[in-house]
Amino acid sequence: MNEHTVKAFDEDITRLRGLIAEMGGLAELSIQESLEAMIKGDAALAKGVVKRDKKIDALESEVDKLAVRIIALRAPMADDLREVIAALKIAGVVERIGDYSKNIAKRVKEVEERKHFEPLTLLPAMGEIAAEMVHDVLTAYASRDPILAREVIATDEKVDAFYNSIFRNVVSYMVENPATISSAAQLLFVARNIERIGDHATNVAEMVHFAATGNYPPDEDG
Amino acid sequence: MNEHTVKAFDEDITRLRGLIAEMGGLAELSIQESLEAMIKGDAALAKGVVKRDKKIDALESEVDKLAVRIIALRAPMADDLREVIAALKIAGVVERIGDYSKNIAKRVKEVEERKHFEPLTLLPAMGEIAAEMVHDVLTAYASRDPILAREVIATDEKVDAFYNSIFRNVVSYMVENPATISSAAQLLFVARNIERIGDHATNVAEMVHFAATGNYPPDEDG
């Protein structure tokens, strides 16, 4: 590439990274707001989360188009091409993270009688960790930081432990309060959605680690 | 592109499509076998599904590498580039479909006392429709058939209706049989996983429709 092409490519990549940062910021906000809506039974807030998901989808589609245009116009090679493909994949994962929050928001109306509904109190701490993972992994992406990426991967264990604990708690609650089973089942799905958000943040962290070091971090899952 | 490059590109694309067909075949088999394992409590069959998922992941990674190589070596333009990017995305979705079956397989050991456990009988018919959607959408992809793609999209309503009916059934069963709540909760997740497989087959169908016609099918979801 000549100097002009290099500069144009760098500008394109910066724009691509900016779009992904924007997607990540929206996805993080949606995690927090979907859980707040769930806990308070706030239908308007839930509606806002569903609406925001369309914006996240539109940003992913912008990333796709820009990536295709970069490849077509600049014909990047080796590391540069890998960077564009990584952006495409990361945008896809962030879009999925957005879907989980939308899914939580859509369940808000399925939960009845929030007062004294103990299982709800278990969700915020788990949601906070997942939102922090999403925040940190996008910071790691922006700063090409493999150490932070590995910290995100390590944090996923906490989210999994939370999920297992919430699952057991909710099931016990169901046994003791059969009248609330339908609402409590919704909370099982909510906890599962948060757990999946953690998994996807971990996936992004693995991609960031790979992009920064050329290696995937050791797989703890076997 | 000169004649040689066109021929080399066509061969690459054929190989790319072949890999995706292989992924799809494995994913379809895993849907059926994960449900069979769940219904019979067959741990060995479940283990086979988990193992097969690694093969699906490896195929996706092959698709990724080949796609990057095609872009780097052949520098395809316009429609050809879009075809390669579509293959990347479709492989990603098929990999996710594989994950849902793996997830079902991993739950097999969490369900106790299968005898007389009515909710299990609701799953096979739902699973069959989802497996058929995956089969049909890959046929539509292979034959670039937008009409079949739209049929897949229409079928997703059936899967959603099944899911809602199973959810209600399982919750009623929980209320009447509190001792089985923990196992029954697993079936809620299984039904949800099948429902998500239907969603992802629908996503692929939309991509196939777009690739074949240049338009996304009308969004029924609003």
Q: Do B181 and A188 touch (CB under 8 A)?
A: no
| Structural domain includes residue B218 | no
For residue A72, the chain B residues in CB contact (below 8 A) are 77-78, 81
Quick: pLDDT tens for A113-147. 787 778 788 899 999 999 999 999 999 999 999 99
In angstroms, the separation between the Cα of residue A164 and the nearest Cα of chain B is 12
CATH number at residue A208: 1.20.58.220
User: Considering chain B, what is the average pLDDT of its residues?
Assistant: 90
Q: Which domain holds residue B157?
A: 1-213
Q: Give the total number of structural domains in chain A.
A: 1
Give percent above pLDDT 70 in chain B: 97
Q: Do B217 and B167 contact (CB within 8 A), yes or no?
A: no
| Structural domain includes residue B222 | no
Quick: pLDDT tens for B112-157. 878 777 878 889 999 999 999 999 999 999 999 999 999 999 999 9
| Structural domain includes residue A80 | yes
CB atoms within 10 A of CB A4: 8
Quick: pLDDT tens for B67-97. 988 888 887 877 888 888 889 889 989 999 9
Buried b (16+ CB within 10 A) or exposed e, A134-156: bbbbbbbbeeebbebbbebbebb
A7 — pLDDT class (breaks 50, 70, 90):
confident
| Structural domain includes residue A197 | yes
Residue from the list A72, A182, A192 with its beta carbon closest to the beta carbon of B81:
A72
| Structural domain includes residue B106 | yes
pLDDT of residue B219: 58
Q: Do A175 and B192 touch (CB under 8 A)?
A: no
Alpha-carbon gap, residue B220 to B164, rounded angstroms:
18
pLDDT of residue A180: 87
| Structural domain includes residue A219 | no
The SS3 call for residue A205 is helix
B214 contacts: CB under 8 Å, gap ≥ 6: none
A211 — pLDDT class (breaks 50, 70, 90):
confident
The answer on pLDDT for A222 being more than 50 is no
The reported pTM is 0.83
Nearest residue of B to residue A178 by CA position?
B175
Give percent above pLDDT 90 in chain B: 63
| Structural domain includes residue A146 | yes
Quick: pLDDT tens for A70-126. 888 887 877 888 888 889 889 989 999 999 999 999 999 998 878 777 878 889 999
Q: Do A85 and B77 touch (CB under 8 A)?
A: no
Give the DSSP per-residue string, B20-83. Answer: HHHHHHHHHHHHHHHHHHHHHT-HHHHHHHHHHHHHHHHHHHHHHHHHHHHHHHH---HHHHHH
Length of chain A: 222
Residue B85 touches chain A, beta carbons under 8 Å: yes
pLDDT of residue A106: 95
Quick: pLDDT tens for B21-73. 999 999 999 999 999 999 999 999 999 999 999 999 999 999 988 998 888 88
The SS3 call for residue B85 is helix
* CA angle at A186 for the pair A184 and A190, rounded to the nearest 5°: 115
B159 — pLDDT class (breaks 50, 70, 90):
very high
| Structural domain includes residue B221 | no
> What number is the ipTM of this complex?
0.72
Nearest residue of B to residue A188 by CA position?
B185
Quick: pLDDT tens for A54-63. 999 999 999 9
pLDDT of residue B11: 92
User: Considering chain A, what is the average pLDDT of its residues?
Assistant: 90
Quick: pLDDT tens for A145-198. 999 999 999 999 999 999 999 999 999 998 898 888 888 999 999 999 999 999
